[in-house]
Amino acid sequence: MSEIIDGNATAKSIHQELKDELSKLNFGRPPCVAFIRVGEDPASVSYVKKKGKVAAEIGIESRLHVLPETTEQNELDALIDKLNGDETVDAILVQAPLPKQLNERRTFNRVRADKDVDGFSNANLGLLCQEDPQAFVACTPAGIAELLKRSGVKTAGKKAVIIGRSLIVGKPMALLLSKKGSDATVTVCHSKSENLAEICSQADILIAAVGRPNTVSADMVKEGACVIDVGINRIPSSETKSGYRLVGDVDFKSVSPKCSKITPVPGGVGPMTVAMLMRNTLSAYKRHMAERKI
């Protein structure tokens, strides 16, 4: 039977580490992250709420800006510009997905690189490509890398297969795992990949970030592999009050007996994404304070 990688417990330890670190700093004001949410998408409402709660627990101030669903790009840009110029704001997070009339790439690039704690801007993705330690790394891939490290999963020389090539997960994950120090041999699969099962079955580390339940079945997993399930899918359920339950992209029941380690959904990658957002915010704060030489 595989070991279940406990993302909740790992994230909690990181929150405590950040809290301890923060308690030793004395810069005259707490770190501050600004959240921008456009519209009332229930998942976004709940993610931003969770991020604000964790920030408060650590001692990070958060300011929530809610814009209406009908917000135009120039209005969103104006708010980002204002926060970019606000010396009391260290970090800015624009919660995706955005309504259709808004351009996500343009929006991510509008955020000043030194406040882009999501790491989605050209500048930070470029720095990651160059293996520059100053890069803010996208929180989900950073969280997965941290989970692997803290769970004792070796990456050097190992075959890692990532299913999904998004800007948010797949692409930065590939950069992180292949960079010097991580040293994995990385294959990125996507919706047009042929022989997906065969490629996956060679992976020592298999990361699924597709957004479709049961994408990974037991026959696609090598005996003893480490499986990281990024997917968050809502499926109808008569057993819950909400009428749905969350599942990942991996068929947990059939895959878990075959692998050495596996992340559950929920309670795996999700909490680590939030922990890495807090870590990036603290880094942004320390950089800003150092620049002001306070």
What phi-psi label fits residue 96: left (phi over 0), alpha (psi between -120 and 50 degrees) or beta? beta
Cα(125)–Cα(127) distance, rounded to whole angstroms? Answer: 5
Cα(145)–Cα(294) distance, rounded to whole angstroms? Answer: 33
Question: Which is closer to ligand NAD, CB of 145 or CB of 209?
Answer: 209
The reply on whether position 264 binds ligand NAD by CB under 6 A is no
Q: Which range touches ligand NAD (CB under 6 A), out of 58-66, 77-85, 110-118, 190-198?
A: 190-198
In sequence order, which residues have a C-beta less than 8 Å from that of residue 162 and are 6 or more positions away? 169, 170, 173, 174, 177, 186, 187, 188, 189, 207, 209
The reply on whether position 201 binds ligand NAD by CB under 6 A is no
Q: Which range touches ligand NAD (CB under 6 A), out of 114-122, 145-153, 166-174, 197-205?
A: 166-174
- Find how far residue 144's CA is from the centre of its chain: 8
The reply on whether position 196 binds ligand NAD by CB under 6 A is yes
**Binding test (CB under 6 A) with ligand NAD, winner from 52, 59, 211, 267:** 211
Cα(161)–Cα(159) distance, rounded to whole angstroms? Answer: 7
Q: Which range touches ligand NAD (CB under 6 A), out of 62-70, 172-180, 231-239, 285-293?
A: 231-239
Q: Which range touches ligand NAD (CB under 6 A), out of 56-64, 71-79, 168-176, 236-244?
A: 168-176
What is the DSSP-derived secondary structure letter of residue 259?
S
Question: Which is closer to ligand NAD, CB of 79 or CB of 188?
Answer: 188
**Binding test (CB under 6 A) with ligand NAD, winner from 31, 119, 170, 264:** 170
Is 118 catalytic? The answer is yes
The reply on whether position 140 binds ligand NAD by CB under 6 A is yes
Computed over its alpha carbons, how large is the radius of gyration of the chain? 19
3-state secondary structure at position 59: coil
Rounded to a whole number of angstroms, the minimum distance from the CB of residue 25 to ligand NAD is: 27
Give the residue from 227, 190, 228, 195 showing the smallest Cα distance to 210.
190
Residue 160: phi and psi, rounded to 5, are -110, 130
Q: Which residues pair with 45 in a beta bridge?
A: none
Q: Which of 116, 118, 204, 251 is catalytic?
A: 118
Residues in the interface with ligand NAD (CB under 6 A) total: 24
Cα(221)–Cα(168) distance, rounded to whole angstroms? Answer: 24
The reply on whether position 165 binds ligand NAD by CB under 6 A is yes
**Binding test (CB under 6 A) with ligand NAD, winner from 32, 89, 168, 275:** 168
- Find how far residue 40's CA is from the centre of its chain: 21
Rounded to a whole number of angstroms, the minimum distance from the CB of residue 210 to ligand NAD is: 4
Residue 119: phi and psi, rounded to 5, are 70, 25
Question: Which is closer to ligand NAD, CB of 4 or CB of 25?
Answer: 4
Is 158 catalytic? The answer is no
Is 95 catalytic? The answer is yes
Interface residues toward ligand NAD, by CB under 6 A: 140, 163-166, 168-170, 189-191, 193, 196, 209-212, 230-233, 269-270, 273
- Residues marked as catalytic: 51, 95, 118
